[in-house]
Chains A and B, each alone.
Chain A
């Protein structure tokens, strides 16, 4: 990897150099040299009381866990909603209270919760907060106070969202895309108060996220430790970093859309509202454009997909590399793929709108950009499996989740090519094919990553291993169950079954799918229930699990190299770590162990085949 600094010789001369091959001739006194610190050590506020230590806490690690727990809580709510939906779809009428209104409210809340309040908050708020400072060798996030406010904004956002279950009319049932005009008109459940609380909650979420996002970005850009160049960061950090950049630029569109929608509802403006005839009467709206909202929503909505996917890409790369005992294949390609996917994701949003009635000529442009994204994404997949090639693969629970991720992600990625290709999308859009596609690619695949990450980093957070046997049960039920939910579901879409149907009565091609719907529902109940294995596992092993000790997976990256496990506030004790290499020096020929940590100075590994990074 010697071309990294081709065009900047000075810095290269100053940063650490490692020897290639066993020459040994380059052994000079300053081979471990790292440039002096540029930034004074961070000034941290240490909490003293229970409240400042655990509630209004400024330690990014605690904030990460707080984010994690709250996101998981909303995720469980989303899971229960999905059970209720599947109950209705598989066994219509089995739940006596279920009306069409309820069904649509559950669909909407399930979608919004899972995408925004569960996955986004978990990956960026949870993993981002916990891992970024540790992985780049910082004491904490750069603005700990702002970080704390970020979490509590998220808390209020969730509280407002949950409150919408209890207002008259219930939560909004407009579908998670919240398309006007129906969102704020009678005939859609929750069009009175539910939608307002939804908009308010989203605005709070965006505000809170902006505060967190600024932290993540500046920590990565300006608070890395000595020797930590951008190209030595673990891919996890790259993924979360790029996702945060996307979020900072995409959430504004959501904010503006939500604000304009609220004004349409409360003040009676007509941003998105054309002349509307309702129950024989012309409403007091006129002249607005419903498609404008769709553009705003998807300008947020498509990057949002990658806000969830990019951290998952990053994390999975690290997990695979550590547990295959092999460096990630094509690191630089991986970094540029993450950055490239992130950049391209701003030019593809209208592929959600091929049949929305927008100018059809857009279809050509957006189909092309969409399929271009397939190339870097495919490269990432190749690099994951090439990392396995000639590795030394530990078949533990973490690796199982990684393999499960590869299968589900490739499956969902391929069906994405169907939907991105404009004329293929025409018969499939708004059918169950779409539902199956996005659940596979941004529901199940990121979930696999989250689970793998939990099994991987739990020893760091709690100091104990999770139970492997329970973990394997958890994995196989989740993976096989989820695959048998979503793989057959694509075929419902081929038949032509539309999504967002409360009941599928009477139609010939729908009645033929009754058996499959029952099967899918049963599998969904099982998969949902299997997640409680994890909760049981965590509770059980928190006290009685096998102690992990330092660096139990023999990983290289900095988060495992703290003086205490779990790391304390300030992370590094007296001295910040000094980084000499990338985090993927596994199985280096000539080295004693099969891993060389990032902090190992070159003088300790002379005569090994380390490549310069």
Chain B
């Protein structure tokens, strides 16, 4: 069999695989559908170039196979052709880059009405904190983290008192409401990623990083850690439940705030001292 045929079949197989693959991205469940569109565009342009280059190669292999009595063409360069190809490539690249940059611009500019969510990561788990009625999150410090203060909130920060604390790896979000995810880590790098939302960012110890998205499908999603964080990395999962406004408000009201927690702790402590006195 002529080798060119096999190369041709490889190209054909790649195209067919792409068309009929059962493995493709999950349905997007956030506002970042534009990322999918850019990927599709890149697929068309890039895939087109791939197929064109490879088919041209296969053609050459068939057409110009070695013959004793034939001599190859002698043409060191072709300025015009090279110029055309350079410009065509440049235009293609610009066409791909432009939408990418536009979406990135949206990605780094968070809408004003986004709810801030503090996502705190450690080896190997997550917990979440939402702002209370004042709409602001209290400041935190790693050294403050104790059993009594799981998020390390600065006790003298008035904004921290009414923060809603979710000491579970499952977070509820309101549908069609933008969220700004504020990521922090107390030990190593992590990354809070829901494939259906497309967006991600590393959590880096020592600083707070962020990204935002707006969920637009209700349902339950799995959270994955996608920045290698030690032996437990693969098991570091969490969950997101996207709910309608009603369900969400109901859920939110059931959650404990920081002052609730402090009060509870104090009660336990006084109970303890009482017990000791008895």
> Which A residues have a C-beta under 8 Å from some C-beta of B?
1, 100-101, 104, 173-175, 179, 181-182, 185, 187-189, 274-278, 282, 287-291, 324-327, 329-333, 355-357, 360-361, 363-364, 367-368, 371-372, 374-375, 378-379, 381-382, 385-386, 388-395, 400, 403, 406-407, 410-411, 414-415, 417-418, 421-424, 426-431, 476, 480, 483, 487-488, 491-492, 494-496, 498-504, 506-509, 512-513, 516, 584, 586-589, 594, 609, 611
CB distance from A40 to the nearest CB of B (A): 35
On whether the beta carbons of A385 and B56 are closer than 8 Å, the reply is: yes
On whether the beta carbons of A330 and B77 are closer than 8 Å, the reply is: yes
8 further A-B contacts with Cβ under 8 Å, apart from A357-B204, A403-B3, A492-B23, are A182-B228, A185-B188, A275-B143, A277-B142, A357-B203, A392-B72, A491-B24, A499-B226
B28's nearest neighbour on chain A, judged by CB, is: A427
Stretch at the interface among B82-90, B163-171, B269-277: B82-90
On whether the beta carbons of B188 and A389 are closer than 8 Å, the reply is: no
List the 9 closest A-B pairs by CB distance, nearest first: A496-B195, A274-B206, A182-B188, A390-B73, A187-B230, A421-B100, A357-B209, A414-B46, A423-B103
Within 8 A of A (CB), among B62-90: 64-67, 70-78, 81-82, 85-86, 89-90
**What residues on A are CB-neighbors of B101 within 8 Å?**
364, 367-368, 422-423
> Which B residues have a C-beta under 8 Å from some C-beta of A?
3, 6-7, 10-11, 14, 17, 21-26, 32, 34-36, 38-39, 42, 46-47, 49-50, 53-54, 56-57, 60-61, 64-67, 70-78, 81-82, 85-86, 89-90, 93, 96-97, 100-101, 103-105, 107-108, 122-123, 142-143, 145, 183, 186-189, 191, 193, 195-196, 198-207, 209, 222, 224-235, 237
On whether the beta carbons of B195 and A500 are closer than 8 Å, the reply is: no
A-B contact count (CB 8 A): 325
A382's nearest neighbour on chain B, judged by CB, is: B85
On whether the beta carbons of B202 and A356 are closer than 8 Å, the reply is: yes
Q: List 27 A-B contacts (CB under 8 A).
A: A174-B228, A187-B188, A274-B206, A276-B142, A276-B205, A287-B206, A289-B206, A330-B78, A357-B202, A360-B104, A371-B96, A391-B60, A392-B70, A393-B60, A393-B61, A395-B65, A406-B54, A424-B38, A427-B32, A427-B36, A483-B10, A491-B21, A496-B224, A502-B234, A509-B26, A586-B72, A587-B72
On whether the beta carbons of B61 and A364 are closer than 8 Å, the reply is: no
A584's nearest neighbour on chain B, judged by CB, is: B76
**What residues on B are CB-neighbors of A175 within 8 Å?**
228
**What residues on A are CB-neighbors of B186 within 8 Å?**
276-277
On whether the beta carbons of B226 and A290 are closer than 8 Å, the reply is: no
On whether the beta carbons of B143 and A495 are closer than 8 Å, the reply is: no
**What residues on B are CB-neighbors of A494 within 8 Å?**
23-25
Q: A375-B86, A375-B89, A496-B224 are in contact. Are A187 and B96 (CB under 8 A)?
A: no
Which of the residues A182, A374, A421, A507 comes within 8 Å of B38, measured between beta carbons?
A: A421
On whether the beta carbons of A355 and B191 are closer than 8 Å, the reply is: yes
On whether the beta carbons of B123 and A187 are closer than 8 Å, the reply is: yes
A189's nearest neighbour on chain B, judged by CB, is: B231
On whether the beta carbons of A589 and B71 are closer than 8 Å, the reply is: yes
On whether the beta carbons of A430 and B227 are closer than 8 Å, the reply is: yes
A325's nearest neighbour on chain B, judged by CB, is: B72
On whether the beta carbons of A388 and B39 are closer than 8 Å, the reply is: no
**What residues on A are CB-neighbors of B233 within 8 Å?**
104, 500-502
